[in-house]
Structure 1
């Protein structure tokens, strides 16, 4: 009897434990959820934003130093004028109100509010004549692709404005490109665009940029997208590089998937260039921008909060 018991114990020790129990059920791996990002347009609708842009630019040459602070606070909107076959929309951008602030070195700050009725100081007179006027008309697809566009201002008026009326696709298209296919967190996409720079008084050249986008997460139906911009054209001329010192921002965009609208956008940059006016010259530009969607009940009471 003892021998039989010992034999049974030895056999039990040689049999793998997994063969003595029921195999656990293997759960099916669920595919990661993907999201189709598309702008939604409806003819006749108006979409409004509150935007703040700040820039501090410091230039030095030898012992000379100059520092300027600029802030612009704007209420702006785009109107959907028409929907084309295939879903592309014709949009018109207008700045409804602006508060401009500037300070040079330790001088007295200059401020102008377009709603005050006051004549704009010389530093802002280019802006005065464009407030309330349509700046530009663009046609974009539901993926944010720039199809066509044209400025609605004179050449002189264009000098006073930036976003929505520039000479490059990224400036004219105040939306963002979205991926062609559905994406999941971690996926990336990009687009390339060109910008003009001045070589001398009579000559311009074109440089190329790439904008990269990455879907970080989706929470409560809002996609969080990281973005960055980089120069891809080799440029070594300091006098050209100084023109591009504020053109490579990075930031975060929040996009409401159901409504098909940008909810908010933040950007920032901090870049220096050397040698633009001799070996002892340097310029540093630090910028920050914030933009958020405005509901109809908020309109008209935003500029004074900043």
Structure 2
């Protein structure tokens, strides 16, 4: 059985037609420095929604699995290091989860309900209200150190915590690449490393907010359909909004619409449809469960 990890395609517009070109505050050729600015003592609160539907057909047997998760999390910004690097604690405050596998009964759990979680959600429940990691980043969002504090490694559909921003100021229409690797298991049991490049493009800037498109491009050939089925869910395609003035993510949306034929035999098929959204919010309570 394959394990599928949780992870809109954009056409680059002519800069002359972009909304930013109509903004009298700057010209199209102006360059923008994208940097994180986190102030000690503040809290950044985010809501992350992840919904996915996977349909598989193997030897004529079809099965549909669906998941839906809404999680509330926050960063506690700590004092900076002597070198001026930013430090924050990552905390997941609450989660609402729904899961259905095939014809089985739908499983639901809300961490704020006070009810014990179903066994399938036990590891996630252990994370609620706890400091999961202390992370140190530089202004470009590069993770310099991470101290994990235990608990499950479940991502809750959140993906990476920070964006890796370009080293130099960037103009509208320009792009930068961020390489990373994912692992896939071959049919003979061996593990293959797949190199992927995430391509970010600055689409527009309005009122201090940068809109970025992101598209993943595989660099390693994926000739085996079984490998492609494992990797497509970790290919990021979508849109990001970044607050240039205050130095933080405002929102992110990633979409998947993938079909892989032959991933487990000639007549097998996998369809994966999913969306993950993340947005900066205010007023989310910092409690994992009701007393």
State whether TM-score is above 0.5.
yes
Q: Which residue of 2 aligns with 1:196?
A: 183
- Counterpart of 2:233 in structure 1 is 246
Q: For residue 141 of structure 2, what is the aligned residue in structure 1?
A: 144
| CA deviation map 1:212-256 (0-9, x unaligned) | 111111111111111111221223233333221311121111111
Match of 1:76 in 2: 73
122, 126, 139: which one aligns with 1:125 = 122
Corresponding residue for residue 40 of structure 2: 43
Kindly tell me: are residues 111 and 35 of structure 1, through their superposed partners in 2, closer, same or farther at Cα, counting changes over 3 Å? same
SS in 2 for 1:245: helix
Verify the 8 A CA contact 2:210 2:242 in the aligned structure 1: yes
Q: Which of 236, 241, 246 in structure 2 is aligned with 1:259?
A: 246
CA deviations on 1:257-294 (whole Å, 9 max, x unpaired) are 11111111111011122323211111111110111101
Match of 2:49 in 1: 52
Local SS of the residue matching 2:223: coil
Structure that is richer in helix per residue: 1
Hey, what's the Cα distance between the residues in 2 that align with 1:263 and 1:193?
23
Q: Secondary structure at the match of 2:228?
A: helix
Distance 2:145 2:124 in 1: 25
Q: Whole-Å Cα distance in 1 between the matches of residues 133 and 194 of structure 2? A: 23
CA contact (8 A) 1:127 1:161 kept: no
CA distance in 1, matches of 2:65, 2:161: 26
- 1:294 is aligned to 281
By relative contact order (CA 8 Å, sep 6+), the higher-ranking structure is 2
State how many pairs are aligned.
261
User: What is the Cα deviation at residue 31 of structure 1?
Assistant: 7.6
1:106-185 matches, cutoff 5 A: 107-154=104-151, 157-158=152-153, 160-161=154-155, 171=159, 173-185=160-172
* Distance change in 2, residues 1:185/1:232 (3 Å): same
- Conserved in 2, the CA contact under 8 Å of 1:87 and 1:142? no
State the SS of the aligned residue for 2:124: helix
Under a length normalisation based on structure 1, what TM-score does the superposition of the two structures give?
A: 0.78
Question: In structure 2, which of residues 208, 215, 218 is the aligned counterpart of residue 221 of structure 1?
Answer: 208
Segments of 5+ residues of structure 1 without an aligned counterpart are 1-29, 165-170, 302-306
Between the aligned partners of 1:147 and 1:84, the Cα distance in structure 2 is 11
SS in 2 for 1:243: helix
Q: Is the 8 A contact 2:69 2:156 kept in 1?
A: no
Kindly indicate whether the alpha-carbon contact (under 8 Å) linking 2:28 and 2:172 is maintained by their aligned counterparts in 1: no
Q: Report the structure number with the largest CA radius of gyration.
A: 1
> Is 1:221–1:258's contact at 8 Å kept on the other side of the alignment?
yes
Deviation at 1:107, TM superposition (A): 4.7
After superposition, what is the alpha-carbon deviation per residue over 1:101-159, rounded to whole angstroms, capped at 9, x for unaligned? 122345543210011111212332221111122223322110112223243225xx22x
Runs of 4+ in 1 over 4 A off after TM superposition: 199-203
TM-score (norm 2): 0.81
